[in-house]
Structure 1
Amino acid sequence: MSLRQLSSMKKKAIPALVAMLILPQASFAFAPFVVQDIQVRGLRSTDPATLFNYVPARVGKQFTEAEATDSVKRLFATGLFNDVNISTRNRIVYVDVVERPVISSVTFDGMKAFDSKTITETLSGVGFGAGRAYDEALLERAKNEIRSQYVSKGHYGTEVTSAITPLPNNRVGISFNVQESGISRIRDIHFVGNEAFSEGTLRDQMDMTTPGYMTWYTGTDKYSREKLDTDTENIRKYYLDRGYLDFSMDSPQVNITPDREDISINLTVNEGKPYKLRKVQLAGNLMGLNNELQALIVPKPGETYSEERAKETTDAIKNYLGGLGYAFANVNANPVTDKETQEADLTFFVDPGRRVYVNRIDIGGNVRTRDEVIRREMRQQEAGWYDENRLSQSKDRINRLGYFNSVDVTQMPVAGTDDQVDVNVDVKEKPTGLINLGVGYGTTDKLSFTAGISQENIFGSGTDLGLQVNTSKRYRNISLTHTDPYWTTSGISRTTSLYYRTETPLNYNVEQDEDSYRTRTIGLGMNFGVPISENDRIILGATFENSKIKLPSEDSGYLIPKAYRDFVDDYGESTNVLMLNLGWRKDTRDNALAPTRGYLSSVQGTLGVGDLKYYMLSAQQQYYLPLGKDYTLAFNLSADYGRSLSKDKPFPVIKNIYAGGIGSVRGYEGASLGARDPVSGDYLGGSTRVVGNVQLYLPFPGTHNDRSLRWFVFADAGRIGTTGKSTCTTGNADEGGIVEDPCGWRYSAGVGLSWQSPLGPLEISYAHPIRPKPGDNKQKFQFQIGTSF
């Protein structure tokens, strides 16, 4: 049978795939001959060179029927052709092909749950995409792959169809039409075989939940295969952390209703019994560091085995060895169980590998940010011994820049060596420019407006520039700030600020023209931050300030605070002051907005010279203590002490400090603690302040440990006082009333809600004042958008 006859039979009776398998066995019925010419027919878009790579025939070379058979097989295997025919006549080899169309473009209609780029990359992984040969089997596979991606996200009812558009030059366009369904919701979660722990306890280990009154916000009742895999792993870890070394779980059974909207999940667990540790030991190459490594072992004999504590030990040993230059140390925890006694022997096998040093540090992913900005945060140096601790510090410092969505630090062995590694720092930049416009309402300042433009990492230089405008009933502020975190190569930062603000003293009881009196301040400051360790910084600088007080005449009929008339008498309407400040700050918190561990300590002193001679000493200590993974106990203690340096003049009232409301003692009106003006009844604050808070954060019901939304219970205490010639006046009986012991301690307790909203940190509190004094202005419900304790 000739090759042409076999090809004709294939067209009529068998598909191309079967022909591809049969053709190599066919007989071409020609004797070997020397090729005089080769002619290729039917090519439209494929490069002829590509075809000749699969056909061994060459002019002047001998060609055999075995080579012809193999050529047909290999050409079909490329997937580029629907038909291939090789024939010979008069020492000429004829290669006839029918090309498959080439996919020119792939588009998606109706797809919202996924980014088209993500799905395009997924289809490329199965061999389907622009530039590839069109194949019906691959098209069907592509549709199934899109469906499977939707199923993995819980969209069980999604339908995917395709349309093929012929194009010139043997090309086609492929369009996928996606009819998305809603995400299937979890109706039931049931456990089978659990005896040691209740179904409710095991459900608490899962991120997915059944519908609740907050799942509209969290979305945890929406099914996802990835989430289910994570949840089963969390359950396995929960058992292993409690000593159940024989624990196993069957594959979850997921049942969906006919309408594809509700899902039931059944989980079967095989618990076994918990094991206690009989012996804990080290093995392997300990390099004479037995005592040092032994001190890092967390589990102790007699304890119930815990995988988490075992992992804590392996990580500690790896980090210790990494700090000595052993970048690829391998530490494995191996528990050996004794089923008769329900005891286990735990051995940590240590293989430090070779000590290595860093050959190069490569920076990648930074399009806008200069290499220098990232490299100067590195504590690991090139040509130095590898140090895991320094690399960890480097990653934290780069993260704290705030310029990147993610920072990955990896190490790769240098080819051809066994004692060198290259460190790769890959970053993903985030937009660092921000324009914000906002309207807010606060219980102290009423309606407020905010507008600002800021650019962190301006021109990729690592410096920040910002303009901010705030205005409310009693406070207006315009400020321009520029920060250079590396003003010197040693890491000294410099912040320059220019600001303009006006402020009206606060009085809730008098209704009059808010512009009847006010303080206008213009300031220019420069501060420097000097690092003395990874977490410690000395702050010093100076700010020049000009203040002017506008007061109407005494016969104007306005109620003007006596304290402000006294200030003008003592210091004049316009004052100039140079404020010199020196401070120290240490911050080890894991997160600035929603910390769960660590502490913040700060001490600062400010000295005013010029028309206003005074000093102010301030200190603050915050501490966050995690109580398991769900709860955080927070403490805050702050104190301020100010005093006039002039023996015959009181502390300047325009430098007074305030307390009351969110951020200090909740349950009392904002800024209401302390002295009251004897004429107008305005809140005057004072020159000393002590505030203490204790707060317990708890997961909000239904959010399943979402740190962006938490509720809390709290207790507050605080007081405002005066020093020197200043007195703690009690107010005016006719204007706001007399308050008893205005500079005494005030206490409160209550509950609140904390939410990291798109507008900023939002805090809502309901506080009950404890044994308030007569005349106190109480305010039980308060809220604030902005940073607070």
Structure 2
Amino acid sequence: MMTATARILLVAFLALPTSPHLGWAQAIQKRAAPPLPDSARKLVAVNVTGTKRYSPVAVIAASGLRIGADVSDDDFKKASRRLGDMGAFTDIAYSFSYSVAGTKLELKLVDAPKFLPAHFEDLIWFSDEELQKRIREHVPLFNGELPASGRLPDEVSDVLQAMLVEKGVPGHVDYLRAEGPSGQIEAFNYSVSNVLIRIRNIMFTGAGVSELPALEAAAQRLPDREYSLSRINLFVQRQLLPVYHTRGYLKASFGPPQPTVANAPAEEPDEPRNLTIVDVTLAVTPGQQYKLSRLEWSGNHEISTETLQSMVRLSPGQLANTVQLSDNLAAVKTLYGSRGYLNASIKPEAQFDDAAGTVAIRLEVKEEYAYRMGDLEFRGIDNSLTAKLRAAWKLRQGDVYDATYLREYLAQSNRLLPAALDWEVTPHVTANVHDKTVDVDLQYSASAPK
């Protein structure tokens, strides 16, 4: 049996005997092996090890190798290169052996460290099941996630484009590496350009009779009727879930939007030719309704618990209206800001008692540091007007900075500006972490009245 091994990007050297008594011809003759039958070149087995993400079947299909086909070392190099180009693996090594029974291949893989979910924003002509099935047929390594680099995301895009062509949809598939709040890439978002998808109706299943009118009213207020998964998810978070949270349904959830094409692309003269109308169904699971059992504060030192508690319009025994609570906590943060605590934060933590139908909410305050007034600059105006405006500013350097004062000052100081002009003021507020001061820069610009 003959064996060979290889690793991507590594060069193997064949060491021949160096004895002066053994010539090259003798070395080659010693290593020569009898010719193998044609059956030895047929691939009879592939053993895949190392990967924890993919099955051997998926790896073999992605490599392009076929059991029963005639193979050589060049085929294994091409297969390894193909797997490497996909970005799913950081290391690929292989070895193989010939025998009368056929060729056996050993593939040793190391998975790439970072994979991201694939989201399909507006491929409304296909169900999720259709998309997943079709992509896997042509991209065996697709399992809902894609490596952060490599060709695999492009291969998914090619499959989606072919599906649009087959369906007769005049669109083009694009994808973006979507960033999260931290600036890190969090997902691949696939979308269709050159097609306008407009929402006609939003319907709800699973909603109670008390909540359904509020949901339908919110749906009518949807500002942008253009469909995309991201828009609908944002709409759910900002408009629909609050309908339940105001009523104490704190574990309410909505399923993925289910769009249904309502018509073929519009052919009316006053509508775009590439317009598609959809109806969207959202399934809601309200969950249990909760009442507040107690509120607990911790971490507050600058402001007393009694003062903070008085600012929350939520009492034990009432429905746990967390929308109202969020509004009240925003007012608490404003109070902290007026005392110089610009970075104060409040973290709510809910403890549910399902048997009693109650929830206790713990409010953890982190006050951080109090900031003081730093430099005050006026730009775009002459010295005389600067002097008047500076004199009207009540916070002196070193005073505790009141984050609410700027709005009050701008409203009052507008009366000092020449009335014959239209004025625009652009404030820039900079909090200096190193010395805990706040610099305020006011940029003035004037124009003739319109």
The alignment's TM-score, normalised by the length of structure 1, stands at 0.29
Greater share of strand residues, 1 or 2? 1
More helix by share: 2
The structure number with the bigger radius of gyration is: 1
Q: Structure with the greater relative contact order (CA < 8 A, sep ≥ 6): 1 or 2? A: 2
